[in-house]
Structure 1
Amino acid sequence: MKPIIGVTTFLSEASKYSTVSRNYIDSIYAAGGLPVTIPIVSNESNYEDYIGMVDGILFSGGNDIAPYYYGENPVRELHSMSTIRDEYEFSLFQNAYEKKMPIFGICRGIQLINVAMEGSLYQDIYSQCPGTLGHSPEHTASDEFYHAVQIKKDTRLYDIFGEERIFTNSFHHQSVKQLGRNLIATAYSEDGIVEAVESTEERFLLGVQWHPECMTKRHPMFLKLFRAFVEASIQYKQREVSV
């Protein structure tokens, strides 16, 4: 049986829809998982029952995380925030982390993981990181290669790709600043921006700053990330059944 993969959603501007790009859904399904979206429920603060339904969870891209979660005031360049979404995802993360469930974060997702693990963010890399190159192109297709990423050897990410240097797309203006506890940076762009993190513990906890879900159809190499995540979720499912 396929593992059930929960995918976090966001509220539309009119707050009428709790939705997410189908690129996440398609990539998970192509990797052998059964994707389900987890809605943002009004007045809900504990999503433990949702975590009990799934075998892995993917934290999707979207809004900036409110900086007061890591003890900072906002800078002028901060974009849209949603503390409703922040609280929803922090609750999901905490429940999944405690159960040692496989966790995969994409773009905002890597930032959510880092803040949830008591790390911090650059609220705007262009104003806060001198020498920053392009990371958020305009009028560029989401499946275009944009910049290079250097991957450290002896990491889960290297095991997945088998390469020290790849090209990715890029659509972000924030990034990991101070690493959270039990996390290591496993990839960087060539201007020094953290592009991936993973856990120092024996578990699947991985975040990437780019958007591999947009790349899987045109560049199948990025499906490796989803296959590794789905495989970890299968193993988690089997352990839960045997308990």
Structure 2
Amino acid sequence: MRPIIGLTTFTESKGTSRYNCLNCNYVNAIVEAGGTPVMIPLVENKDTLLQYMNIIDGILFTGGEDVLPLYYGENPIKDIGAIEQERDDYEIFLFKEAYDANLPIMGICRGIQLINVALGGSLYQDINSQITGSLGHSPKGSPMNQVHHMIRIEKNSKLYDIFENETIAVNSFHHQSIKDLGKDLKVTAYSYDGIIEAVESIEKDFVLGVQWHPEALVPKHELFKKLFEEFVKRCSK
């Protein structure tokens, strides 16, 4: 029986219509890894969201807009990007439900940032303006399936167990990153300019976040399929 993996979504307006959306790369990566993806619509009704929580075996927090800085006690700086507070509320609710239930959790790009904020951490609102000496983390016009920079992986981590290497090349499409670490988290990877590239839970069985987009690399780089296979395997339990 393939485990059911919940995927968070975002909303998008086209003309007079509004849609719940998700990049197909997330869906395809979960399917390739042996899971059954279920898109969780962005709705305010908590009873509806709880019904989804009752049927899923794990949850993936996907990429997207910036998290509202008010959630970590800051006002937005001028370099902040697009914000959708409705999505923040919906994902923080889902995260807390999944975390309390000890469901396997994975976060990608915005997802790692959401996990950190939900656990009481904070973010750099804009890497280029707030971190002196930062390297390029959001290249203009680069294909999403192309690696961009190297990261260092801590040996005593789930990430090292998955990739079996202390250095790998990843893609990069973010202008924010983790600043103050949330409770129950430890850093498991850094970029060469010191920016946090991965975290995992100290206490829970499987809570893992990465700052890059492995789902976009899976078709061309077999290495990154291992990450989704491990996540799906954890959800199978």
Same fold? TM cut 0.5: yes
Whether the 8 Å contact between 1:45 and 1:87 is mirrored in structure 2 is no
1:106-157 Cα distance to aligned partner (Å, 9 max, x none): 0000000000000000000100000000000011100111000000001000
Structure 2 counterparts to residues 149-188 of structure 1, below 5 A: 149-188=151-190
- Aligned CA RMSD, in angstroms, stands at 0.9
SS in 2 for 1:16: strand
Can you give the 5+ residue segments of structure 2 that lack an aligned partner in the other structure? Answer: none
The TM-score, its normalising length taken from structure 2, stands at 0.97
C-alpha displacement of 1:91: 0.6
Counterpart check, 1:223 vs 2:221: no
Structure 2 CA distance for aligned equivalents of residues 104 and 122 of structure 1:
21
Q: In structure 2, what is the Cα distance between the partners aligned to 1:100 and 1:188?
A: 26
2:20 is the alignment partner of 1:8:
no
Displaced runs of 4+ in structure 1, greater than 3 A?
none
1:157 maps to a residue whose letter is L
Shift of 1:176: 0.5
Which residue number in structure 1 is paired with residue 113 of structure 2? Answer: 111
1:30-59 residue CA offsets vs partner (Å, 9 max, x unmatched): 000000100012x42452221111000000
- Relative distance call for 1:87 and 1:202 in structure 2 (3 A) is closer
Partner of 1:24: 26
CA distance in 2, matches of 1:72, 1:213: 31
Instruction: Name the counterpart of 1:74.
Output: 76
- Number of matched residues? 234
Supply the AA of the counterpart residue of 2:102.
Answer: K
Q: Provide the rounded CA distance (Å) in 1 between the counterparts of 2:179 and 2:135.
A: 16
TM-score (norm 1): 0.95
Q: For structure 1, which runs of at least 5 residues remain unmatched after alignment? A: 236-243
Supply the distance in 2 between the matched residues of 1:202 and 1:77 (Cα, whole angstroms): 34
